[in-house]
Amino acid sequence: MFYTIKELVQQAEKLKNGSVAELMIETEFELSGREREEVMALMTRNLDVMLASVKDGLTDSKSVSGLTGGDAAKLDRYIKAGKALSDYTVISAARNAMAVNELNAKMGLVCATPTAGSAGCIPAIISAATEKLNLSKEDQLDFLFTAGAFGLVIANNASISGAEGGCQAEVGSASAMGAAALVMAAGGTAYQASQAIAFVIKNMLGLICDPVAGLVEVPCVKRNALGASFAFVAADMALAGIESKIPVDEVVNAMYQVGSAMPNAFRETAEGGLAATPTGQRLAQEIFG
C-alpha cells in the first residue's frame, strides 16, 4: 500500500517495467480481497461505459434544464471542417469530455471518475490517447489502473469532492489523474507521471465549484473540456523532462489547504462565482421558479 505519490513512484519502480497499473492491481487485491479476474472484469466494465458515454453524448439534444447539450456536436462539426487551431488530439479530447458531461446532464450512463461532475475528463483523455497512441484494450485498462493509483493518493491526502475542496478537487484531480496515465501510456516513467500530476494541480489550484442553479452543467461541462486538454500539455511537459520545483506531494497538500480555506460560497453551494451572477440567478429562477 502507498500513502503518498513519492511512495507510489518508489514502489512502482521496483516492479517489472515500473508499472503503476500493476501496483494498483496489487493494491486492489490488498484493499478489497478480490481476485485478479474480478478486478479486471470490473475495470473492463468501467472502460466500456466510458467509451460508450463519449459516443452516446455526441448529439444535439438538450438536457432537461436546457442549460447544456449540443456543444460537443458543434465542436465535432468544427473539427471535421478542418478549422481547428489546436492539435487534433487535444481538441478531440475537449470534444469528448463535453460529450460525456452533456450525457451526464441528460441522465445518461457515465462512470464517475472520480466524480460525476468530472466524469468527462478520463473518458476524453483515454479515447483521444487510444487514437493517438493506438492503445490496445490491455493498454487502456492499464491506463485506468494508473489513473486510479494516483487518484487514490489525491483522494486520501486532499479531496475529490467539489463540496469539500472546490472544482480543483474534481476536474483538477481528474485532469491530473489523466495526465499521469497519459505519461505512462506514452512510455514515460512513474516519476514523470508524478510531475504531470503536479503541473495540472498547480494550474488548477484554487478553482472554485460554482454550479449555476446547483446543477452539474454550467460551467462543469466546459471545465471538463479544458481539464482534458490540460492533461495532454502537462503530459508533454513531463515527458520532455520538465520537473516541478515544488514536490508533487506538497502540491497535493497545498490543494487540500486551499480547499479547506475556501469559503462555502465557492464549494458547490451555488451561492458564489458564476452561480451568483445576475444571469446565473436568472437561469436558476427560470429552471426552478
| Separation between Cα atoms, residue 226 and residue 115, nearest integer Å | 16
Out of 1.10.10, 3.30.70, 1.10.4100, 1.20.120, which CATH number does the structure's domain 5-288 have? Answer: 1.10.4100
Given this model, what pLDDT does residue 228 score? 98
For range 32-41, the mean pLDDT: 95
H helices of 117-189, in order, are 121-133, 137-157, 162-165, 171-185
Query: Per DSSP, what are the bridge partners of residue 209?
Result: 267
Give the Cα separation of 187 and 129 in Å (integer).
Answer: 12
Q: Is residue 289's pLDDT more than 90?
A: no
pLDDT, tens digit, for every residue of 9-33? 999 999 988 999 999 999 999 999 9
First to last CA, the chain: 50
Mean predicted lDDT score pLDDT of the chain: 97
Helices (H), 15-165: 20-32, 36-56, 71-80, 88-105, 121-133, 137-157, 162-165
C-alpha cell at 205: 489550484
Indicate the domain borders of the chain.
Answer: 5-288
Average pLDDT over every residue of 99-118 = 97
Per-residue pLDDT tens over the stretch 129-163: 999 999 999 999 999 999 999 999 999 999 999 99
Written as nine digits, the cell of 3 is 500513502
Bridge partner list, 267: 209
- pLDDT of residue 99 exceeding 90, the answer is yes
Q: What percent of the chain has pLDDT over 90?
A: 99
Q: What is the pLDDT of residues 245-288, one digit of tens each?
A: 999 999 999 999 999 999 999 999 999 999 999 999 999 999 99
Provide the 8-state DSSP code for 264: G
Q: What is the pLDDT of residue 61?
A: 98
Cα separation of 160 and 162, whole Å? 7
In this prediction, residues 230-253 reach a mean pLDDT of 98
Q: For the CA atoms of 119, 121, 124, 126, what is the dihedral angle to 10 degrees?
A: -100
Query: Is the CB of residue 172 less than 8 Å from the CB of residue 204?
Result: yes
pTM above the 0.85 mark?
Answer: yes
The mean per-residue pLDDT over the stretch 233-255 comes to 98
